[in-house]
Structure 1
Amino acid sequence: MSNRELIVLGSASQVPTRHRNHNAYFLRWDEEGILFDPGEGTQRQMLYAGLSSRQVTRICITHFHGDHALGLPGIIQRLSLDSAPHPVEIYYPASGQAFYERLRHATVFMDKATIVPRPIAKDGVVAKTKGFELSAARLEHSVDTFGFRLEEPARVQLIPSRLAEHGLSGPRVGELQRRGVVEVEGRTVRLEDVGEKREGQSFAFIMDTRPCANAGRLAEGVDLLVCESTYLDSEREEAHSHFHMTARQAAEVARNAGARRLVLTHFSQRYEDTAAFVQEAQALVQDVVAVRDLDHVEVPKRVRAV
């Protein structure tokens, strides 16, 4: 099991099918578990995936269409039922506050979990931890919609051969990492002398939008891009009129942004087979996955220096 992976809980669009549940995506990122767009049936899909509500640390809602948010009441109530030991922050478009309140208090229940609302009114950073920065940007849909980007900060990766050259090993390496500089036999060794800057891993979630500038910005250089691809390109006009994308358009976003791996999802119920989606996208990008419910997709690892 990877400590950084996407678990697909639902991959349908407006209408679920016998094989695809409404939207829901769980991003496992080290000790964090971020649930994106919990549609109807998310609790049951989590059960099938072997996930507990106690693993959810944050919830991101791109917009308040039902297939992206109607599972939220069940998740919130389950957090209380399971006595979630930590606060759970929920990010959502500020303009949908009334919808959030209705979903937050949809039925009577023993409200014990600590739920922290984080309404989003403008593009920018919405959360910052020691391990990552979560940002949001407005997309182009029929209602207020935000995409999300999670980015790990850059760090210096130590190179074993350079450590050996400078006579560094054991506790002295830890000291160098903590202080950024260490004295070795009268010589000053700095972190940059024995390492290389390594960009952190990154992830983007783009759902329910036409192609737009912010989609490209969110996807810039990410290791894993989850992008809606509701239609095939033969229905490009229909996609545009419904504020959605085709598989080819999703691939164009990925190619232009330099994303490493593209996840296609949010398929219209008219398509039983997604092989054509992969074929269409692979004309532009190589690493493409058309996901099914309960798929696990690893965030591609960065190449380590030697």
Structure 2
Amino acid sequence: MRELVVLGTASQAPTRTRNHNGYLLRWDDQGFLFDPGEGTQRQMLRAGVAVSAVTRICLTHFHGDHCLGLPGVVQRLSLDGVAHPVVAHYPASGREYFARLRHATPFREVADLREEPVAGDGVLASGPAGVLEARRLDHRVEAFGYRFTEPDGRRMLPERLAAHGIAGPDVGRLQRAGELVVDGRVVGLDEVSVPRRGQRFAFVMDTRLCDAVFALADGVDMLVIESTFLAEDEALARDYGHLTARQAASVAARCGVRQLVLTHFSQRYPDPSRFAAEAAAVFDGEIVVAQDLSRVPLPSRRS
């Protein structure tokens, strides 16, 4: 299962229909919880997502709408007896804030929460599932965006496997070794498969346009990006360290993004369709205007 569960889409002030930020990326057996704002624990309950689904917590920065839900999530990990380790990434300059949030009230901490602060651009974690990296954004406080990249692989072609008489456990042996002897003939992996591009995801919150935004968004299948303002208020966006919907869409167009997910909307705009219309003027790919408690599947793999 690879999908984005949207827990909240408001910016500084929540509204009757939009909770503070919160996004859970479900990627096979992993769960990346991004920017748990106030009310995230309850939003997870409403979305039907258990806290045990979380394997990493990624904070972009320490403004309240992106982190005030952390105490509830941290305490729920222990309350529910989550057995697996949960890694927390956040700007290293905010260690003091994270410590305050983590221990906001007394509780019996039994969960294994491992802090791995982000000090600069680079890879945070890597493994068979993919590589998680961070890049510094341009906001009024230190902020980082995140990107997860699955390794490229190969897609097996059933008709070619059948033509060579390869089935069952032999398929796995061929994938691991790169070749297999069948009836005295060596069959190479490239004879029965084609390259398969790994899926890519990027998460970009509060920032002005900067090189890091484009680096994070480059070629991703899904870009979750703030669009706090509309173009008519671009000056405000610049002053407060944010993007407009048009700017977010221009990033997607320039970077070859397949699916653009707009979120983090200012309460000054009651009509969310305006964000979609503004983005569509510069980006002809798939546009999603995020709504609380919605689920957005990652696009299917590129052929």
TM-score by length of 1: 0.96
Letter in 2 for 1:14: Q
| 2: CA distance, partners of 1:165 / 1:82 | 51
What does residue 23 of structure 1 align with? Answer: 21
From 122, 125, 134, give the equivalent of 1:124: 122
From 177, 196, 200, give the equivalent of 1:202: 200
| 2: CA distance, partners of 1:167 / 1:19 | 57
What does residue 169 of structure 1 align with? Answer: 167
What does residue 225 of structure 2 align with? Answer: 227
| 1: CA distance, partners of 2:81 / 2:167 | 45
| 2: CA distance, partners of 1:49 / 1:98 | 31
CA distances 1:176-215 after superposition (whole Å, capped 9, x unpaired): 0122211112221121221111111111000000111111
From 138, 147, 151, give the equivalent of 2:136: 138
What does residue 79 of structure 2 align with? Answer: 81
Letter in 1 for 2:299: P
Per mean C-alpha deviation after superposition, the further-off stretch among 198-207 and 281-290 is 281-290
What does residue 299 of structure 1 align with? Answer: 298
What does residue 107 of structure 1 align with? Answer: 105
Task: Please state whether the residue corresponding to 2:116 is helix, strand or coil.
Answer: strand
What does residue 149 of structure 1 align with? Answer: 147
Identity of aligned residues (%): 56
What does residue 184 of structure 1 align with? Answer: 182
State the shift of 1:130 in Å: 1.6
What does residue 244 of structure 2 align with? Answer: 246
| 1: CA distance, partners of 2:302 / 2:147 | 21
| 1: CA distance, partners of 2:151 / 2:85 | 24
CA distances 1:53-107 after superposition (whole Å, capped 9, x unpaired): 1111110000000100011111001100110111100000111111111111111
State the shift of 1:221 in Å: 0.8
Task: Please state whether the residue corresponding to 2:115 is helix, strand or coil.
Answer: strand
For the pair 1:289 / 2:280, whether they are aligned, the reply is no
Letter in 1 for 2:155: Q
Corresponding pairs, count: 302
State the shift of 1:132 in Å: 1.4
Give me the CA root mean square deviation: 1.0
Question: 2:276–2:289: 8 Å Cα contact kept in structure 1?
Answer: yes
| Structure 2 unmatched runs, 5+ | none
For the pair 1:6 / 2:7, whether they are aligned, the reply is no
| 2: CA distance, partners of 1:303 / 1:20 | 33
Question: 2:197–2:302: 8 Å Cα contact kept in structure 1?
Answer: no
CA distances 1:145-203 after superposition (whole Å, capped 9, x unpaired): 00000111101111123223433223322210122211112221121221111111111
Letter in 2 for 1:24: G
Letter in 2 for 1:227: I
TM-score by length of 2: 0.97
| 1: CA distance, partners of 2:185 / 2:287 | 49
Task: Please state whether the residue corresponding to 2:52 is helix, strand or coil.
Answer: helix
What does residue 51 of structure 1 align with? Answer: 49
State the shift of 1:303 in Å: 4.1
| 1: CA distance, partners of 2:184 / 2:215 | 47
Letter in 1 for 2:13: V
| 2: CA distance, partners of 1:10 / 1:151 | 24
State the shift of 1:277 in Å: 0.4
